[in-house]
Structures are given as C-alpha cells and as structure tokens.
Amino acid sequence: MKNTVFFLLLFPLALFSQSNYTLTSPDGLLRLEIETTPRVSWQLFRNNLALTDAAPITMSVEGIGVLGQMPTVLKTETNTVVGTVKPVVHQKSASISDVYNELTIKCKGDWGLVFRAYNEGVAYRFFTNFKDNIQVNDETFAFRPKRCLSYFYPQEDGFYSHNERQYLRLRPDEINETKMASLPALAQLEDGIKILLTETDLQDYPGLWLSGINGKNGNLRGIFPRYPKYLVEKGDRDMQPTDREAFLAKNVKGTRSFPWRLFLVSAKDVDLLNNQMPFLLAEPSRIADPSWIKPGKVSWDWWNNLNLSGVDFRAGINTATYKYFIDFAAENGLQYIILDEGWCDPAHLNQVVPELNMDELAAYGKQKGVGIILWVTWLSIDRQFDELLPKLKKWDIKGLKIDFMQRDDQEMVQYYWRMAEKCAANHLLLDFHGAYKPSGLHRTWPNVLSFEGVYGLENSTWDTNKKIDPEHNVTLPFTRMVAGPMDYTPGAMLNSQRNDWSPSWNRPASLGTRCHELAKYVVFESPLQMLADSPTNYKKEPESLQFLSKVPSVWEQTVALDAVAGDYVAIARQAADGLWYLGAMTDWTPRTLQLDTRFLPAGAYEIEWFEDGINADRNAQDYRHRTGHIKSGDQITAKMAPGGGFVAILRTLGN
C-alpha cells in the first residue's frame, strides 16, 4: 500500500565542490559522501568515523558508454520523506515508518543516480531515461570496509544454485577472488558495527553476487550471472546454462530504475532484527484488491515422508492420507495443507497419480475449510499454466509451491515476475523454493508469501555433517531473514542434542531442544509458515501442538529484545488479537537471558511459557510448561540449555 503520511521537504545539501556531495541520515549519524570526478564513488561514515573507503559505481551500456565514468552533473535534487507504509502482508508489523533523506544526481546523457539515507542504512540505484531499449554489458559494485574483522559469508560454488548456504565466519584474508557468495552477506567491523549487503527491487535484471579481491582488507566486488547463451534441459525441473553471453541483460527498457544496492548499518546486532529497508525500497503493491490474500500455517507432507501411525490405511500419496492431513489441519486451526512432490507426474501436471482422487480431496478440503497448495516444478508450470488452470479453479487450489529455479540471471528474474503476476490474476498464493533470496518481489506482488533460498530443516533428512544446527539457526535472523520472508519449514517434534542426532528420511529430527524448535515460530518470519512434522508426532505432543496451533504467521508489531549474531536471539511480537509472543534461541552454548518487558503497555499479564527442562542437555525433548503472572516492566528469565530455546505468551489482565 502507499505511504499514508508523506511529506516532501527540502534539506541543505553540503557542497564541497562541483563534484562532491553529502547526504546524511535523518538522525545525522550516517553520512554518505559522493564523489563524481573522475568517476562516481561513495563513502560511508558514522559519527564522523569512516566505515568504508571510497567505492566506485559504474554501469556499462552497449552503444552508449560507461555511466558513472567522467560524468557531467546537470542537476541535483534533494528531499526528505516522512511517511508510513502499511504492508498488505504483516510480516513484521502492520505499519512501517518510512523516513529518509534522498539525493538525486542527474547527469548529461539521460541517466543518473539516486541515493537514500535512512537511520538504519543507505542505498543507491541507477536510473536511465533512454528512448530505446538497451543492453547492459556490466555494472561495477564495490564494498570497501574499514577495520573489517570478519564476515558472515554465504559462500557458493557457482551461479547455478538453490542458495541454501551456511553463513561461514570468514576473516577478510580468507575471502579472495575465487570465493563467491550470494546475498545477503554481513560484515563485522571494529566497535561492533555491522553492515549487511543486499539488494531489492530486482526487476528484469540479474541478481547481484559477491567475490573477494585478492583477500585484502575484506574488500568485495559485485559479480553477476550473465545472460544465458545456451541452456540444457535436464528432466522436468532443470534448465541449466552451459554457456553465457558477455552481457548482463538485453532488451531492457531504456527508461527505468535499476535495483537498489543496500548497506544496512547497525551499531547493535539487535537492530538488524527489525530493519525493513529491503521491503521499503521495493516497488509498492500492484494488486488493486488484495483482500483474497490469506497468510497462514500449513501442514506439510514432504519432510515427514507422509509417515503416519495408528491409522487403518496405508499412508502415502493417496486420498486417505491427505484427508487425514486435512482433518489434522482443520482440528488445529491450520489454514492449508501442501501436496508436495508426487501428487502428479512432475513433467505433466494434469496427470494426477491414480491413488489420488483430486476431485474428492478438493471437495473434502472445502468442506473442512482447509485450502490446498500444490507443489510444481518451475519449468512445468511455466509451460502448462494455462493448461492446468481450469483444474486449479475446479479444485479451488489456493496456491502453488514452485521449485527448482536455481538461477537469478535476467531470464529467471523475469520468470519470477511473470509467474507472480499470472498467479495474482488468478488469486493464487506463491511460495518459491529452489529460489534466490527475497529482493522486493513480495511487496510488489504480495501474493508471494514466502521464499526458500535458505538452508532449512529439510536438510536434516540428509545432513550427515550436522550443519543444520542451532548456531546456524541463530545466524539466519541477522543475515538471510533480513532480506525477507524465509521458508525454513520448522516444526520437528523429534529433537536431539548434537551427539544423539543422525539424519533420517522416515523419522527426521531436529538438532536442538524442543523449545528451540518452538521458538522458531516466533523468531523466524514466513507468512506461509509450515508445520513440517507428521500429524502423528504432533498428536503425541498436545502441549506443543496447542502452542503451534495458535502462534500466528504474521504480526502487528515486532520488538527485538536481545541478540548477538551467531550466538543467540530474543524477540517479542504482537499478534492481531493483542497477545504478545516471546521467542529466544541460543547456539550450542547454554545461556540465561533477562528479557525486559517494558515494551508491554502498563498493566498485569498472565504469562504462559515453555522452557528447556533440567535434563534438556541430555534429552532435547525435555521441557517445562508453566503459567504465572507479571507486570509490564518485569524481567522474564529465559534459561536455555545447549541448543536451547524459550517461548512465552503474554495475555493482558487489565490495569
């Protein structure tokens, strides 16, 4: 939705010479210094301390030249915006403060740059005003931090990737030109300053990636997947580039804005948890009436391998099993079930497996008030959307889980937008798997509720190296999740400490305690949130199930309480019904946090909480479920075992 409060004000622009400009954040702490001679560059300061060295900005356009190289500045415009954005889907909050200062530099040759400074970070983007379509040959992106201590770096093997990576803690001298990474990446400087790099409003253009520069000082450069020259089709889901063109993007509109390059700055780790710049800088919603978009929770079949017990039918991909999932969802207030891979021939989406009567199942779901979401491969649905659409409407399918894209070159970015628009026109929700990181699409097309692009719980079915662990889990909120919604697919009811855990297809378990798992539903953000385990396992855990059946997937307010990236996180969120939920998670180090409740309105509250049991360090499923009373401003003690967690629900008792 549009800004509800929107003011444009002129503010002074410090002019050192005709080629130097300064832009400050509204609170005056951040300062961008922009140089336009001999080429455009930027440098970032905080409290007059340089956080970066000057870094170049250029874009090479076929037949036109290098934008940013020896530019002639014709005009500059400055303004301040004080506004409020009300997102269609309340991922973190029902409203977002949108306050920034902006500098626009217009250059000879019908192009320019826009810089924005928020209190939470800075950003820039190119724009062009050419009459004809253009070909972008290259873009220069550079990040040159000062006093860099380390990175949380999602190192990749190549551009063809699901972007499901761990965030490696690397020293600057460990990142050379051979070490590439997807976004976002997080730099840690001296004095605790962190700068998160990402992008947003990615449209009709390849995604930005990173690599080192000779392992010096933590300097990074941007690299891009160039336009695919040859594609080899492998089965029903892979279309893999075997060679690429020399250019980045072709037939690009000559008059347009390019993706924002974001640098989110935090003096405290906790500040990253509520930074919404990637959302604010994306294009507003194109859906005129979004009332049909319904976030919710999903009973998911794939992770638990449809493994049921205590039933009188053979569990598997068949009508009886999915009716059981629908019953489970209806009994526990879940809005959806997913039929993941196996419900049809993945290459021929109209060919439903014989064991599954979709007409009967669709009628049953409608009767029970539970929507159905179907898994499809990106290649098949792209080719067969119009062919499948009559059945999607007949079965009243609520959404699609689209999988295996594994690219973010220009052609694939176009696909995301094409599919988001098609699905919006037909009132279909979307969950992108095998996906690149969120880059603004979910604001422009809010029917896109979630993205994978994360090393999530599914890996516990095969991760022999135990990488899908609590330390990884308490890194994600400061890295991948800052970019946007994250379909990690939590919900394991079988939980293990590190030495007791092994991967399993039929009885998968999570690393970490039961309370660590419950806390994911408060800490991790996904408006289409999964319950990944089997209904059988949930029914054996009625107290945990009661919590999971009530915890929302969208929020009215978010308050970050305490956090250190990669060590622990504690966060509070308010639901639409006014209840407050607290979630805390730790890595393999046991911790006790004192959580301040001054964020609560004055008054008395009933508190219901789940905490790690006294034996949770040996038996990760050990927990205690208690109730009590507190007042606003009291401290809540969250004592967590190794790999542990804590969750609480706060209900007002009045003043």
User: Residue 289 contacts by C-beta under 8 Å, 6 or more apart in sequence?
Assistant: none
Q: Name residue 53's beta-bridge partners.
A: none
User: Residue 420 contacts by C-beta under 8 Å, 6 or more apart in sequence?
Assistant: 430, 441, 444, 445, 447, 448
Residue at token pair 């669709």: 362
Is cis: bond before 38, omega within 30 of 0? yes
Q: Is 434 helix (H, G, I), strand (E, B) or coil?
A: coil
Question: Distance between CA atoms of 526 and 143, rounded to whole angstroms?
Answer: 30
Closest by CA position to 353, among listed 401, 317, 313, 395:
317
Beta strand spans in 279-414 (E): 296-300, 336-339, 344-345, 348-352, 371-377, 399-403
Phi and psi at 477, nearest 5°, equal -60, -20
Question: Distance between CA atoms of 651 and 630, rounded to whole angstroms?
Answer: 10
Q: Which of 102, 340, 403, 562 is catalytic?
A: 403
DSSP category for residue 605: E
Q: Look up 289 and say whether it is catalytic.
A: no
HSE toward the beta carbon, residue 136, CA cutoff 13 A: 28
Closest by CA position to 450, among listed 277, 285, 264, 298:
298
Closest by CA position to 572, among listed 538, 543, 607, 621:
607
Q: Judge contact between 335 and 294, C-beta under 8 A.
A: yes
CA 532, 533, 538, 541 torsion-angle sign: negative
Question: Distance between CA atoms of 347 and 344, rounded to whole angstroms?
Answer: 8
Q: Judge contact between 499 and 550, C-beta under 8 A.
A: no
Closest by CA position to 528, among listed 449, 438, 458:
449
CA 55, 56, 59, 60 torsion-angle sign: negative
Question: Distance between CA atoms of 651 and 217, rounded to whole angstroms?
Answer: 50
Residues in the chain: 655
Q: Judge contact between 353 and 339, C-beta under 8 A.
A: no
Q: Judge contact between 117 and 277, C-beta under 8 A.
A: no
- Helices (H) and strands (E) in the chain — how many of each? 11, 47
Give Cα 611 to chain centroid, integer Å.
Answer: 27
Q: Look up 403 and say whether it is catalytic.
A: yes
Give the β-pairing of 30-35 and 41-46: antiparallel
Q: Is 514 helix (H, G, I), strand (E, B) or coil?
A: helix
Q: Which of 201, 458, 463, 587 is catalytic?
A: 458
Q: Name residue 131's beta-bridge partners.
A: none
- Tokens for 250, please give them: 């072709």
| Rounded (10°) angle between helices 378-394 and 358-368 | 70
User: Residue 312 contacts by C-beta under 8 Å, 6 or more apart in sequence?
Assistant: none
- Tokens for 44, please give them: 């970032």
Which sequence positions are flagged as catalytic?
Answer: 403, 458
